[in-house]
Chain A
Amino acid sequence: MSGVLIIAEQRRGELRPATLELVSAAQGARRAPGDTVAVALIAESPERLVPAVSVPGVDEIVTVQVAAREFDADTLETAVRALIEARKPSLVLVPHSIDAFGYAAALAARNRYGFATDVFRFEYADGALVATRGGYGQKVNIEVDFPGKDVVLLAVRGNVYKPPEGTAAPSVTSFTAPDVSSRVRSLEFIEPAAADDVDMTAAEFILAIGRGIGEEGNVQQFRELADAVGATLGCSRPIADAGWLPKSRQIGQSGKTATACKLYVAMGISGAIQHLAGMKHVSTIVAVNADANASIFGIARYGIVADIFELGDALKEQFQS
């Protein structure tokens, strides 16, 4: 049992960037110095994804050709299980992603692998793998280990590790996985309706509002504030779910990622992990919240404990004089 096996995630013929984050994560988790880091490409045309994973840190690429074009839990579970049987890695990494939600736990349960999800730190200590994840709504950290488990499957939190830079030329091998008669069929993808033309992923300065704004009637005040300071108005999930702003303005795991953002001002947002997934990476984050204990202050660069309405008004005044 040795080596790290990364299960790449692909969608609509493209590699999902989270896969590359796993490559970086894997570097610090070789149990023994000679252990290899391999990336498995399980897809209908896996060879097309090879260039995308030819990055430093990858020792080997394994292509697995399967019948399913898009995500299929049965296909992945069968293929990964076969890979593990054949290659016997000690650590298998998948992203903590929506796709992984659909199969990783089943894979682990059926085969009794060591298993933990939403892991943001892991390493070998005295030959044993120790992983750290959050607990009680991310208010505490929990350290877990996997005694007696030869294979451990970890789902790794996104936006924690940075993808490696540059290119490399790892060896490419192919692997044949058993046939699968799948019990789920992919039909089509539906783009989220864009109610307005805003592209949150291109915005450099975002002012985002959360549950703290209280009522729908208060959205207008912050819309005006965003205009006054020159920001694009964004929001957390509850605001979009309630219909107070279009879904296209939602930042977070199931919303947009503030990719181009340099300054993110979060008002009345507590810092739920799903929201953070969309903006944590922004270089300057200012959190404004009436609750001094809001977890968003943990990842923000600047924090202001104040009534968001009063602060909003005062801030608008600064830009109107």
Chain B
Amino acid sequence: MADSAAVTRVLFEDFTPSTVRLFYVIGYSAIAAFLYGVYVQVRKYRRGVPAGMPLNLLPRLESMLVSLLNHRMIRRRDHAAGEAHRLIFYGFVLLFLGTATITLDYDILGPLFGVHFWHGEFYLWFSLVLDIAGLMLAGGLLYMMYRRGWLKPPKLDYARPDRAPSDPDYDRSGYRREDWAFLWTLLTIAATGYVLEALRLVWLASRPEVWDTRWWSPVGAALAQAFRALGMSEAGAGEWRRNLWWFHGLLALLFIALIPYTKVKHIFTAAGSLMFRDPQAAQRLPREKPDAPRPGSQYITDFTWKQLLSLDACTKCGRCHEACPARAVGAPLSPRDVILSLREFANRTLASPALPAQAELDVHGKGPGQVAMETLWSCRTCMACVEVCPVAIEHVPIIVQLRRKLVEDGDMDPQLRKTLQTIHKTGNSFGESKRKRAAWTKTLGFPVKDARKEPVDVLWFVGDYASFDPRNQKVTAGFATLLRDAGVDFGILYDGESNAGNDVRRVGEEGLYEVLAEANIGALSGASFNSIVTTDPHSYNTIRNEYPDFGGSYRIEHYTTLLLELMQQGSLAVRHKLNLRVTFHDPCHLGRFNKGYEAPRDILKILGCELIEMGRCRSNSFCCGAGGGRIWIPDPVGADKPAQNRMREAAAIEGLQVFVVSCPKDLTMFEDALKTSGLEGRFVVRELIELVREAA
């Protein structure tokens, strides 16, 4: 073996000093362009408002690195693409570390301290690892090209439902071109890297310290063998190398310089977005700042720097686009396109040295980059988009903040407007007198404690639909009977209870939400109880996650947890098993929002039901369409509805007998959809409580 110090690659071998200097000048220029680009982006983010969250940099950094390294989010619902991206990611990271290592040796430790380590054994292993990294990178890239060019998943044509073909920003071919350019550029850099490696080997074949160790760069060596076999001479290789070196170098430097101006920036922005994620996004919406000049977001500068950063993290993967129930039924909403519109808008308005006049910063409307009312009102706030996004973009809070402005201006469906006024007047969305809230208790035949007047163990927060809707009242009465049979000491707030406000908040009527929250917290603080149970997942979500911001922190569980407990303890008996073939629909606000997937399934098991899952279950459950205030907005005449879409999915289950729900709105929506989709008679919709009662 040759001398260790000699086993290395001489950088700039045979280049004149002026050539090397030229390279460095170009290199530094590239870096300068890169830094300038970063500066422009950072300046853009700083034009947003403060995010108002604790920075906690170290824990966030750690969590971000874990996400990046395990790539779990990218593999979800797109397994092959996720693995391919993993290859690209690790390949690129290794190659980057490799270049950094060389720089460390050549430009820093060498000149400053005379220390060189990039030689000998280290160099050989280094070469091997990087060759493999290059293969990983190239392999991943080739798969992505195959996916994009041959498999052609529909979401990758970026067709947007919120614009018409005549609109200027309808055409997405620019994005597709950029994506291909990115793939080809990286692939070319990798390919030319290997060729260069091979050319060097051929050129220096006469040196044993190079030629004898060539198989530590297996790809290069293989190519070198091929070149020699094709008759390439050492001199010829040297000539090729000199030219290709510049091509490869310039291309790579160009790539680096362009990072902040292109899709490539997602390397940083995605990491940033992940780092500053709100783990409770969508479950817990942000409060309005008391001194805010306007409610919600009207101008692009009303967004927080974190939101502006997230906009840049989007890589158009389309997972949110696929998951969205509104988009699935043809509504003019794609969460992806809301983000991309706002990003385009931000780039157009916030990227220049001077900030344009405020009037030009209004993001509402139908112009290029703006978001239309119809788009915003289509959202069901089901958080499927937030939940699946691999780069932690938080679409729902953005949409709600945009809605806050619409609400202030009264720009909403007349029916919605009327419902909000009704809720303000009567505390419920049905317009019924407060006194009638507990009218369902009269059908019971036993008294229900008034938690305002006497202490109880469990306070049952019933909710609007469960109290007033005739179909749901049967379920409510059923639950009361179960609690009584199980010997639970429970009570309700009677007319002290108002609409919990979850959907009012998601509509964007923050002022009314505050009124409702304060009223309910006031009623709760006057009562004495150990925990709260609720049959309404929407109420569950807001009381659990949002009421603490208003001074009301309670121990609260959804009824499924309580019932399971009672069944496991033996307080609730299952006298005969229900041998039914069922499927379970995870309610958005219980499942995806609060990870309550298991309790209902455990109950079904105890009941002896055969559970066949639908394809879109658990965190991928498909919203019934009622959320975000949509239950108060009429659907367009003749349009498909999310609930109908779901019914068709259920109907595909062979021999299905019962479609089980555990949310009052789901019960209403799906019983309706069962009829309107023409599937009545195929199976029935039942609340889980009704099944428990049947088995008792």
Contact = CB atoms under 8 A, between A and B. Distances in A.
B414 A220 contact: no
B637 interface: yes
A140 B637 CA distance: 40
Interface of B: 414-415, 634-638
A216 interface: yes
Contacts of A214: 634
13 contacts: A214-B634, A215-B415, A215-B634, A215-B635, A216-B634, A216-B637, A217-B634, A217-B635, A217-B636, A217-B637, A217-B638, A220-B637, A242-B414
Nearest to B637: A217
Nearest to B638: A217
A215 B637 CA distance: 9
- A-B complex: 5 closest residue pairs judged by Cβ atoms: A215-B634, A217-B637, A217-B634, A216-B634, A217-B635
Chain B contact residues: over half helix, strand or loop, or mixed? Answer: loop
Given A215-B634, A215-B635, A242-B414, 6 more contacts: A216-B637, A217-B634, A217-B635, A217-B636, A217-B638, A220-B637
A50 to B, nearest CB: 50
A165 to B, nearest CB: 45
A235 B634 CA distance: 19
Contacts of B415: 215
Contacts of A216: 634, 637
Nearest to A218: B634
Most buried by B among A217, A220, A242: A217
A220 B634 CA distance: 14
Interface string A262-298: 0000000000000000000000000000000000000
Contacts of B637: 216-217, 220
A41 B636 CA distance: 54
B679 to A, nearest CB: 16
Contacts of A217: 634-638
A295 to B, nearest CB: 16
Nearest to A215: B634
Nearest to B636: A217
A228 to B, nearest CB: 18
Contacts of A242: 414
Nearest to A313: B675
Contacts of B634: 214-217
A84 to B, nearest CB: 44
A236 B332 CA distance: 33
Contacts of B638: 217
A220 B676 CA distance: 14
A320 B197 CA distance: 83
Nearest to B639: A217
Interface string A198-220: 00000000000000001111001
A156 to B, nearest CB: 33
B56 to A, nearest CB: 47
A68 B499 CA distance: 57
B578 to A, nearest CB: 28
A220 B637 CA distance: 9
B378 to A, nearest CB: 16
A264 to B, nearest CB: 26
Interface in A212-237: 214-217, 220
Interface string A51-83: 000000000000000000000000000000000
A73 B100 CA distance: 93
A242 B636 CA distance: 15
A313 to B, nearest CB: 9
A220 B638 CA distance: 10
A180 to B, nearest CB: 44
Contacts of B635: 215, 217
Nearest to A307: B470
A216 B634 CA distance: 8
B432 to A, nearest CB: 10
Nearest to B635: A217
Nearest to B471: A307
A276 B101 CA distance: 89
A288 to B, nearest CB: 16
A96 B627 CA distance: 47
Interface string A234-248: 000000001000000
A317 to B, nearest CB: 14
B414, B635, B636, B637, most chain A CB atoms within 10 A: B637
B137 to A, nearest CB: 53
A214 B635 CA distance: 11
A161 B635 CA distance: 45
Nearest to B414: A242
A298 B415 CA distance: 28
A220 B636 CA distance: 13
Contacts of A215: 415, 634-635
Contacts of A220: 637
Nearest to A217: B637
A239 B403 CA distance: 28
A268 to B, nearest CB: 14
A220 B415 CA distance: 18
